[in-house]
């Protein structure tokens, strides 16, 4: 049984480092907390795919009875939540056993967001004279234009792009479908990639309908997308860690800043609850506050 957990722990390690772009210390902290649960669950003989909410509740109760602080319990539950987010990427129909388990409110996390100028910087370093550059431009434009998750991007189908209507059909978490508007610029680069690059590829039959492929005609992986984005961010001298998910946050934040209805943003992101989408209103308030500080005359320093 532990062999199976060890495989998932290795996958989780990769997820934290590449997809979440966490530091070494944060990664080791998540893994350490998760290993405590793995040690506990061995007695229950449950695999990562058969863990039930009751297993987790029993684990948290054991921590409480051992005198472990509530903050530490919440941290371990948080590690389990992130772990099952990573597991669902490869097992989208799996029900997250942590979903209905409440944890202490420890404040809101404000995600990293790129400015419009930073996005333009990243686009400007792409070499459009190469096949990979043309493909990568289409990838970045799609991420920013639609706010799709990286797992949704790599499974995007050619047959799911409705050019005339300006929509794409996205298969999200739990195999839920949604239609997302896509901008003309993104469609332009997708068309260029399909006509000038993809049309010349020797595509394996199993991948004929997948949009974004490697140069061997196979579907791209999540790791490949992360490496592409990180390479562009480095070349553009972006001072913060950038992952594909940062484009999702930037997409939503720029919409809210522009006055978009929060329910519409929720629909485009595929959030089941608007509570998740509300994080972008907090970002928007911070943005507005900064605008006041920068431009309102009453916020300027008083002359001596």
Non-local CB neighbours of 293 within 8 Å, separated by 6+ positions: 299
Out of 36, 55, 173, 282, pick the active-site residue: 173
Model confidence over 164-221: pLDDT tens digits? 999 999 998 778 899 999 999 999 999 999 999 998 899 989 999 999 999 999 999 9
Indicate if 144 belongs to the active site.
no
Model confidence over 89-115: pLDDT tens digits? 999 899 999 988 876 554 555 678 999
Assess contact for 128 and 197: CB atoms under 8 A. no
At residue 304, the pLDDT reads: 44
At residue 37, the pLDDT reads: 93
**Rounded mean pLDDT of 130-142?**
97
If pLDDT is split at 50, 70 and 90, which confidence band does 285 have?
Answer: low
Report CA Rg, the chain. Answer: 22
- Is the pLDDT at 279 greater than 90? The verdict is no
Out of 135, 222, 245, 254, pick the active-site residue: 245
Of residues 66 and 281, the one with the higher pLDDT is 66
Could you tell me which CATH class the domain 2-90 is placed in? mainly alpha
Out of 135, 149, 222, 254, pick the active-site residue: 149
CA distance 231 to 237: 10
If pLDDT is split at 50, 70 and 90, which confidence band does 128 have?
Answer: very high
Mean pLDDT, the chain, whole residue set: 87
Out of 36, 271, 282, 287, pick the active-site residue: 271
Assess contact for 81 and 46: CB atoms under 8 A. no
Indicate if 149 belongs to the active site.
yes
Assess contact for 44 and 97: CB atoms under 8 A. no
User: pTM of the prediction?
Assistant: 0.65
In the chain, domain spans: 2-90, 116-290
Burial class (CB in 10 A: 0-12, 13-18, 19+), 106: exposed
- Is the pLDDT at 1 greater than 70? The verdict is no
Could you tell me which CATH class the domain 116-290 is placed in? mainly alpha
- Is the pLDDT at 53 greater than 70? The verdict is yes
């Amino acid at each position: 049984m532990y062999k199976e957990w060890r495989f998932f722990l290795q996958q989780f390690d990769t997820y934290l480092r590449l997809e979440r772009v966490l530091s070494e210390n944060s990664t080791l902290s998540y893994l350490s907390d998760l290993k405590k649960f793995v040690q506990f669950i061995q007695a229950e003989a449950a695999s990562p795919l058969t863990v039930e909410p009751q297993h987790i509740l029993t684990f948290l109760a054991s921590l409480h009875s051992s005198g472990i602080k509530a903050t530490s319990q919440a941290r371990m539950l948080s590690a389990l939540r992130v772990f099952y987010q990573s597991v669902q990427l490869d097992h989208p129909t799996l029900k997250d056993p942590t979903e209905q388990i409440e944890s202490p409110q420890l404040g809101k996390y404000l995600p990293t967001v790129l400015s419009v100028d930073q996005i333009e910087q990243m686009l400007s370093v792409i070499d459009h004279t190469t096949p990979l550059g043309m493909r990568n431009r289409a990838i970045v434009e799609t991420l920013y234009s639609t706010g799709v998750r990286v797992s949704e991007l790599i499974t995007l189908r050619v047959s799911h792009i409705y050019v005339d209507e300006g929509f794409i059909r996205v298969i999200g978490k739990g195999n839920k479908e949604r239609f997302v508007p896509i901008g003309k610029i993104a469609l332009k680069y997708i068309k260029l990639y399909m006509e000038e690059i993809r049309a010349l590829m020797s595509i394996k039959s199993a991948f004929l309908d997948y949009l974004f492929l490697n140069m061997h005609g196979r579907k791209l992986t999540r790791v490949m997308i992360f490496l592409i984005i990180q390479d562009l961010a480095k070349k553009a001298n972006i001072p913060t860690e950038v992952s594909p998910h940062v484009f999702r946050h930037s997409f939503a934040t720029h919409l809210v800043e522009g006055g978009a209805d929060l329910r519409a943003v929720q629909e485009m992101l595929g959030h089941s609850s608007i509570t998740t989408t509300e994080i972008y209103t907090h970002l928007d308030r911070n943005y507005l506050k900064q605008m006041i500080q920068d431009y309102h005359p009453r916020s300027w320093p008083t002359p001596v």
